[in-house]
Chain A
Amino acid sequence: MIAAAASPGVWPLLRIWMPQLLTAAQGTLRMTAAAFAIAAVVGLLFGLARLSRHRMLSRFAVGYIEVVRGTPALTQLFLIYFSLPSVGIVLRAFEAAVIGLGLNGAAYLAEVYRAGIQAIHRGQREAAYSIGMTHLEAMRFIILPQAVRIVLPPMANYAIALLKDTSIASLISAPELMLRARDLSSEYFMPMRLYLTAGLMYLIMAYPLSRAVRFLEYRLSHGR
């Protein structure tokens, strides 16, 4: 407040803000990485479950995917952060955000994996069986390694979307970039400058990533 009144220039302020915002941006990146890891692993389980020949298993996976994709991530975060304590599960905001965004992403990635697995010609699987592989072995050694090529670009696109979606974790006050920007904004009363700065920082993180994904998509589609 005092600083806001004393200095009209933006540079002195940026020197105060930037270290804090950069630290917060690290929180954003950590949250993105952790949620992505959960989404990638849990998503694979649900993707495989969906393709399973066990009816119950595949129905459960379909139900999970439909419900999670049919409701806002924000509602899911609120349920995890504000409602789980009533059944005795108390999570810190950051953990709640990582788990919430991770389980949310799992439903999206499950569909990505499913599409990738289904895109592999069934002759591959039949050949694997014919040389004596079990179902699991065929998945592990034949199908999944080939599906990786197909699922890599959509997974990377999901990671970029996730990077931006972590901003809603600020609404359960998880420490990341948007929360820091909000706190500074209520301290300095300069919302325009702070939110534009935050926006620029997201742009700097997300844009190179999306260029890289486009390059990857181009390479994979023109690779052979």
Chain B
Amino acid sequence: MTGDPWGRTLAKLPEIARGLLVGAVTTIQVTTGALAVAIVLGIVFAVLKTAPSRPLRALATAYVEVFRAVPVLTQLFVIYFGLAGIGIKLNPLPAAIVGFGINGGAYLTEVFRAGIEAIHQGQLEGAFSIGMTRPMAMWYIILPQAVRVVLPPIGNFAIGLLKDTSIASAVAAPELMFRARSLVEATFLSTQIYLMVALLYLAMSLPLSRAVRHLEAAMGRGHQA
């Protein structure tokens, strides 16, 4: 390509900026969608993992161990290309949300389990003594208290997730990295565009990590990543 790349970047800035910002919005959508799925799965499997029933505990353990030991890219490919190969076609966006959600659920299971176990045993016994069932005690007594403990690690997980969603570009989910790749293909301005992408991710993740650090301080105790 001829011409000064920075000059061409300036000339095409409106087009590039619009593409990247639309991508950034999708990045936030994928992140929040996957976070929601991961939180629900994390709570469900954490409750299973602390259940008295042994098969349920084994099921939760298997989920956590398998999904944490396999790269999220591999999981995305199984969900997007693998399922399509056997006739279940998902759109890239739902595939990314489901993939990151299931993957993240395995990590958050451990977070919620630690949160549940951090609540004093007497709370559960107290709930039983006033006639609550185990699910009721979990829902009304244990989980609301566990929120305090799990909030900072969930925040850290969300920051990691925000950056990891860039991998969803490999299954053609139209998030920031994917938009950037198509713009680079059209303009050959790889340095300029990927630097802008890095800045956009920074602009999204730095305030989040500030907020999490604030939260950690407010919650009184730090969290070991």
Contacts and interface: CB of A to CB of B under 8 A. Distances in A.
A130 interface: no
Interface in B69-98: 69-75, 77-78, 81-86
Contacts of B181: 78
14 contacts: A70-B206, A71-B201, A75-B177, A78-B177, A168-B71, A168-B167, A171-B167, A171-B170, A178-B77, A185-B81, A195-B78, A198-B74, A199-B74, A199-B78
Given A71-B163, A75-B201, A79-B194, A196 B78 contact: yes
A202 interface: yes
B68 interface: yes
Interface in A150-183: 164-165, 167-168, 170-171, 178, 181-182
A178 to B, nearest CB: 6
Interface-centre pick from B75, B191, B205 (highest chain A CB count, 10 A): B191
A191 B194 contact: no
Interface of B: 5, 65-66, 68-75, 77-78, 81-86, 163-164, 166-167, 169-170, 177, 180-181, 184, 190-191, 194-195, 197-198, 201-202, 205-206, 209
Nearest to A198: B74
B73 A167 contact: yes
A90 interface: no
B78 A70 contact: no
Given A82-B184, A191-B81, A203-B69, A75 B74 contact: no
> For chain B, what secondary structure do more than half of its interface residues adopt (helix, strand, loop), or is it mixed?
helix
A182 B166 CA distance: 18
Interface residues of A, number: 39
Interface of A, helix, strand, loop or mixed by DSSP = helix
Contacts of B5: 86
A198 B69 CA distance: 12
Contacts of A207: 65, 69
A16 to B, nearest CB: 18
Given A167-B74, A210-B68, A79 B191 contact: yes
Contacts of A9: none
A149 to B, nearest CB: 15
A72 B71 contact: no
